[in-house]
């Protein structure tokens, strides 16, 4: 980045924020859908989907990154198809870093949304039916607003976790300054270089400040929403 050529911290911060934002934006609608399906729908293979969604929590992040390379790498079928049809290049790009982050934080998001969904009184749905509301109507006017606390919590958690995603990003998107070198990757790089101690400390402190800010925002949002819902 040319705006702050000397400021590795700012560049890493900007990249981290961008990657986390894009990852949340990409995965949130999908997470709402998957959480809804896992909570409300009854179908064969629900357990399989459940396990699949939670895999990134238990796999080594490097393995997730490697799996993404196998799937969406430059010569992998999905990667070839994406480039041919949409011109989307994933490996070694910021978009790729966002995808890797999204996959890693997806289970966190689904869990938070699912929790709030399970807390919704199913009786409210029956009440809405007797008032003449069809399925889509009920989802938009009842389920969605009532799961808003979970959606917000999921988004904030995933965002905060996404700022620090390391293993999957470095495996799938590599460590390219200005493209995929996010805060943790910059910190790692600084620690590896003989004269990077001061930079490493600054990056670590920056991560700490960012984490605290994220948690505070999450708490404020949660309070506001709780008051709105009268709980």
Binding site for another protein (CB under 8 A): 121, 123-124, 126-134, 137, 141-142, 145-146, 228-231
The residue among 119 and 192 lying less far from another protein, judged by its C-beta, is: 119
CA 192 to chain centre: 28
Contact at 8 Å (CB) between 190 and 200? Answer: yes
Give min distance, CB of 121 to another protein, in A: 7
Cβ-based neighbour number of residue 137 at 10 Å: 13
Tell me which residue of 221, 34, 44, 52 sits closest to 113, measured CA to CA: 34
| Token pair recorded at residue 89 | 């290049």
Of the two residues 80 and 127, which places its CB atom closer to another protein in the complex?
127
For residues 131 and 198, which CB has a smaller minimum distance to another protein in the complex?
131
Nearest distance in Å: CB 156, another protein: 20
Between 170 and 225, CB nearer to another protein = 225
Tokens, residue 109: 């998001």
What's the min distance (Å) between Cβ of 161 and another protein? 28
Q: How far is the CB of 148 from another protein (least distance, A)?
A: 8
Q: Whose Cβ is closer to another protein: residue 137's or residue 219's?
A: 137
Q: Where are the alpha helices (DSSP H) in the chain?
A: 8-40, 46-58, 61-72, 77-86, 94-118, 122-130, 135-138, 144-146, 148-163, 167-172, 183-192, 197-229
Minimal distance, residue 144 CB to another protein, in Å: 10
> What tokens were used for 189?
């790089």
- Closest by CA to 141, choosing from 131, 153, 149, 133, is 133
Q: How far is the CB of 135 from another protein (least distance, A)?
A: 8
Choose between 80 and 124: whose C-beta lies nearer to another protein.
124
């Amino acid at each position: 980045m040319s705006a702050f050529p000397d400021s590795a911290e700012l560049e890493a911060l900007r990249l981290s924020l961008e990657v986390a934002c894009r990852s949340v934006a990409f995965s949130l609608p999908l997470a709402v859908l998957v959480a809804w399906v896992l909570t409300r729908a009854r179908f064969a293979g629900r357990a399989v989907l459940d396990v699949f969604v939670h895999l990134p929590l238990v796999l080594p992040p490097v393995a997730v990154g490697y799996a993404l390379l196998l799937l969406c790498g430059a010569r992998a079928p999905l990667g070839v198809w994406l480039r041919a049809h949409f011109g989307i290049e994933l490996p070694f790009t910021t978009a790729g870093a966002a995808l890797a982050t999204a996959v890693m934080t997806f289970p966190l998001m689904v869990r938070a949304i699912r929790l709030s969904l399970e807390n919704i009184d199913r009786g409210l749905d029956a009440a809405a039916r007797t008032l003449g509301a069809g399925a889509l109507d009920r989802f938009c006017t009842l389920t969605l607003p009532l799961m808003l606390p979970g959606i917000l919590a999921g988004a904030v958690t995933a965002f905060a976790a996404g700022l620090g995603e390391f293993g999957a990003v470095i495996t799938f998107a590599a460590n390219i300054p200005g493209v995929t070198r996010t805060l943790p990757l910059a910190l790692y790089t600084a620690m590896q270089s003989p004269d990077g101690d001061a930079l490493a400390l600054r990056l670590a402190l920056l991560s700490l400040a960012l984490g605290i800010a994220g948690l505070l925002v999450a708490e404020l949002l949660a309070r506001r929403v709780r008051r709105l819902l009268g709980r």
